């Protein structure tokens, strides 16, 4: 029985606790201010942050310590406190004795009968600096993105003129006077490649215009038709490299996606596989479609030189990231592929190893049923 009574006594609050320690030891700024605008009591954290002695802080109106740009708004909210309205999460700036600006977030509760305000403030200067740096970075990125968009639009637009000139030359060319069949085939291939490039540039300019409107047109696309369009445009590259392209769209023949995006994905992944083939080997590329747990997928595999995934990690889809010493490598292709996929709600995964090839698995946005 005595043991039980002892345990119960242990649960009774000890009146000897020194609650003043909460006030004195707090890392936050605690203060009691009068309706007259002066500090009446402060904890050590206030003088430590602002750099003034207690005597200096008590002898001058509180608003004199507030940064001059925030003095008016601080005076207004203080009047609200005197009307018995609590102040929650109010942010303003104070000026320390050394001239440094610090940000404080206040929660203040008025007690009208006592003509006092009980307040606690948190130093949020670090958070504000991070926000400022982030905003500056966002502004810089927005400008860079706008400049890149203008450059891309201009380049795509201006390239159409020489392409149109080339097509005009083909139209003027009298092929009836050419008897060599190989020459005729070569001319036809060049004309077809120019026509495809013209359509690609037109589509790309249209896509840029749509992106400016935050709209990317999605339509039902035949995977094989889109692939054939791209393969015709790079037919000479495929033939010269003797690349073997194995295609299997039997499991999934069509997807809902943006036409220009899909063709760009095909173009960049195929040309990369050919460009980064292993020396002395013929490029072998596999392109197939899958349905995996209701998600439409495109899978690209090759037998190329591959990546060291531990080294490239998250940089593989970065803009201007290059992982092989090729003169014509610009570090843009995979960035575009990733952007095309993710901008329409999909994702892309990579598996690769040095001299063991690479596999890209593109998972498109799940369609609502």
Q: What does the pLDDT average to over 347-360?
A: 91
Burial class (CB in 10 A: 0-12, 13-18, 19+), 144: exposed
196 — pLDDT class (breaks 50, 70, 90): confident
Per-residue burial over 4-25, b if 16 or more Cβ lie within 10 Å, else e, is: eeeeeeeeeeeeeeeeeeebee
CA dist list (Å): 344 to 56, 142, 214: 60, 20, 11
Higher confidence at residue 167 or residue 57?
57
In this predicted structure, the answer to whether residue 227 has a pLDDT above a threshold of 50 is yes
Q: What does the pLDDT average to over 67-92?
A: 92
The two structure tokens encoding residue 329: 């490598």
Higher confidence at residue 282 or residue 203?
282
- Residue 102: per-residue pLDDT: 96
Q: Angle at which helices 181-212 and 125-172 pack, to 10 degrees?
A: 150
215 — pLDDT class (breaks 50, 70, 90): low
Give residue-wise pLDDT tens across range 97-129: 999 999 999 999 999 999 999 999 999 999 999
Q: Please state, rounded to an integer, the average pLDDT across all residues of the chain.
A: 83
In this predicted structure, the answer to whether residue 241 has a pLDDT above a threshold of 90 is no
In this predicted structure, the answer to whether residue 207 has a pLDDT above a threshold of 70 is no
User: Degrees (nearest 5) of the Cα angle 290, 291, 294?
Assistant: 160
Higher confidence at residue 133 or residue 327?
133
Spatial separation of the C-alpha atoms in residues 109 and 118, rounded to whole Å: 5
Q: What does the pLDDT average to over 144-167?
A: 69
- Residue 268: per-residue pLDDT: 86
- Residue 335: per-residue pLDDT: 79
Q: What does the pLDDT average to over 71-75?
A: 94
Q: What does the pLDDT average to over 286-297?
A: 93
- Residue 7: per-residue pLDDT: 47
- Residue 107: per-residue pLDDT: 94
Burial class (CB in 10 A: 0-12, 13-18, 19+), 87: middle
Give percent of the chain with pLDDT exceeding 70: 82
Q: What does the pLDDT average to over 240-267?
A: 92
66 — pLDDT class (breaks 50, 70, 90): very high
343 — pLDDT class (breaks 50, 70, 90): confident
Q: What does the pLDDT average to over 130-139?
A: 89
Least confident among 150-164, 169-183, 229-243, 253-267: 150-164
Give residue-wise pLDDT tens across range 5-16: 444 445 445 556
Claim: this prediction has a pTM higher than 0.75: no
For residues 109 and 129, is the Cβ–Cβ distance under 8 A? no
Positive or negative torsion for Cα 248, 253, 257, 261: positive
329 — pLDDT class (breaks 50, 70, 90): very low
Q: What are phi and psi of 278, to 5 degrees?
A: -75, 140
- Residue 4: per-residue pLDDT: 46
For residues 104 and 121, is the Cβ–Cβ distance under 8 A? yes
For residues 35 and 117, is the Cβ–Cβ distance under 8 A? yes
């Amino acid at each position: 029985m005595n043991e039980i009574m002892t345990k119960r006594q242990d649960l009774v609050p000890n009146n000897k606790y020194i609650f003043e320690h909460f006030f004195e030891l707090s890392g936050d700024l605690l203060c009691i201010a009068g309706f007259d605008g002066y500090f009446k009591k402060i904890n050590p954290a206030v003088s430590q942050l602002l750099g003034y002695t207690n005597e200096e802080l008590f002898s001058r109106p509180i608003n004199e310590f507030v940064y001059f740009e925030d003095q008016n708004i601080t005076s207004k909210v203080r009047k609200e406190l005197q009307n018995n309205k609590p102040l929650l999460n109010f942010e303003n700036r104070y000026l320390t004795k050394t001239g440094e600006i610090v940000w404080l977030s206040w929660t203040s509760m008025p007690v009208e009968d006592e003509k006092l305000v009980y307040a606690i403030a948190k130093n949020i200067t670090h958070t504000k600096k991070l926000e400022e740096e982030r905003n500056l970075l966002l502004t810089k990125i927005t400008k860079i993105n706008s400049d890149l968009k203008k450059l891309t639009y201009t380049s795509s637009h201006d390239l159409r003129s020489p392409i149109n000139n080339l097509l005009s030359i083909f139209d003027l060319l009298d092929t009836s006077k050419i008897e060599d069949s190989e020459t005729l085939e070569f001319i036809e291939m060049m004309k077809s490649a120019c026509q495809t490039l013209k359509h690609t540039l037109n589509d790309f300019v249209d896509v840029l215009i749509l992106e400016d409107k935050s709209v990317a047109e999605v339509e039902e696309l035949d995977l094989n038709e889109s692939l054939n369009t791209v393969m015709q445009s790079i037919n000479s590259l495929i033939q010269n490299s003797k690349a073997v392209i194995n295609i299997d769209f039997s499991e999934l023949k069509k997807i809902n996606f943006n036409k220009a995006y899909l063709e760009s994905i095909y173009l960049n992944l195929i040309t990369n596989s050919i460009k980064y083939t292993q020396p002395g080997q013929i490029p072998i590329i596999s392109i197939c479609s899958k349905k995996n747990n209701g998600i439409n997928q495109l899978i690209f595999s090759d037998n190329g030189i591959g990546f060291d995934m531990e080294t490239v990690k998250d940089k593989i889809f970065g803009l201007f990231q290059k992982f092989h010493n090729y003169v014509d490598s610009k570090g843009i292709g995979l960035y575009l592929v990733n952007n095309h996929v993710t901008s329409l709600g999909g994702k892309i995964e990579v598996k690769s190893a040095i001299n063991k090839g690479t596999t890209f698995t593109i998972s498109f946005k799940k369609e609502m049923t």
